[in-house]
Each structure stands twice: as C-alpha cells, then as structure tokens.
Structure 1
Amino acid sequence: MLAARPALARPRRDHDHDRARAALERGEALPLAEVLARVRPELGGEVVGVDFDRDDGRWIYEFKVIGPAGRLVEVHVDAATARVLRRRAD
C-alpha cells in the first residue's frame, strides 16, 4: 500500500506532461512549442505557467500570462488547432 503513495503525490505538472505526451502520440494535440509559436503574438504578455486539461471533449493548453500592466490572464488554447478559445483575467 505504501508503494502506491509516491505515484499519487506526483506534482500536477508531471501528470500534465504525461497526458500531453499521450495526446500528442495519438494525434490529438500539437506540441507545446508549436502551439506557443503560433499563439505568442495573441497572448499579450509573458507566459508564466501552462496547464494541459481536457474540456468539452478536447485538449486545452491553459496559459497563465502576465500582461504589460502586471495583470494575470488565463488564455485557453485548443491543443489540436492552436486556436485561442477564451481569455480570463484573474
């Protein structure tokens, strides 16, 4: 039972990486570097974090972006098409 605990305690970013790699291998997502290259001009600031989640049946890259005024914005991008889906300010 104790041997299973480290796997449960893995950081979220490792889990995101595993899911992203599997989605990439299945052709369900583009590589993060390619998506960033396509959407960087639309992000409007510096990327300070990335999550990879499933939403409404599709894979989404969630970029945490600090804008020029220092405000944190979350930008959701379709992982298969690199299309910006929505922006949400915190």
Structure 2
Amino acid sequence: MKSRYSITLVLLLSMLSLGMSTGHADKRDKKHEHNVVREALQRGEVLPLTKILAIANQQVPGDVIEVELEDENKGLVYEIKILTSTGRVREVKIDARTGKVLSIEDD
C-alpha cells in the first residue's frame, strides 16, 4: 500500500513540475516577444502606434477597443479592433513596418 501511495505522489509531483515548467516557458516566450518588438521599434523597423492608429481610423472610424502587435509569418502585424458608431466591431490588420492595410473584417 505504501509503495502505491509513493508512486501516486511521484506521478503527481512530476505532473506539477511539468505544468510549472510550461508556465515559465510561456513567460519567457512572451518576454522574448516583447523584446523583439521593442528592439524593432528602436531600430525604426516598426511604425509607431500613433501612426498606425491614424491609418486604422481612416479606414474604419470609431473607438479603438483593442490593439495587439503580433509576430506572424509575414512579419509584425498590428491587429486593431474598432467599435464603430453602428455598434459593429471591426478588426483592421496593418503591416507594422509599412503601414499597409492587410485586411478589414468583422470581429
């Protein structure tokens, strides 16, 4: 009976340690992603958010409710969610380097 308890405890502890290491890896990945974005901004490879928001508002007037800067296969892309005056939420994707509007869709 004691050995069965030990095996269960060992399995439980190993699962917990795996979960904790995954959590730390996620935090490291996010920190790395933030560093990549910050460095790109400092090098002038990414347009500042104020310019991106102006481009987005020209395409879809309304209130900005969310902004994300994603590292996608084609490079860094701003994803801006805008609440329009009619109550629709639209997502505008903009190339962070060039300011080119990549897509506009309902969210």
TM-score by length of 1: 0.72
Q: How far is the alpha carbon of 1:57 from its aligned partner?
A: 2.4
Q: 1:31 corresponds to which residue?
A: 48
Q: Please list the CA deviations of residues 33-73 of structure 1 after superposition, one character each: whole Å capped at 9, or x if unmatched.
A: 12223442212221111000122322111001111211111
Q: CA contact under 8 A between 1:76 and 1:86: conserved in structure 2?
A: yes
Aligned-residue identity in percent: 36
TM-score scaled by structure 2?
0.62
Greater RCO between the two (CA within 8 Å, min separation 6)? 1
Q: Which moved more, 1:14-23 or 1:58-67?
A: 14-23
User: Which structure 1 residue ranges, 5 or more long, are not aligned?
Assistant: none
Aligned length: 88
Q: Residue 72 of structure 1 aligns with which residue? A: 89
Q: Which runs of 5+ in 2 are unaligned?
A: 1-16
- Contact 1:73/1:88 (<8 A) preserved: yes
- The structure with more helix, counted as a fraction of residues: 2
Quote the Cα distance in structure 2 between the aligned partners of 1:8 and 1:64: 25
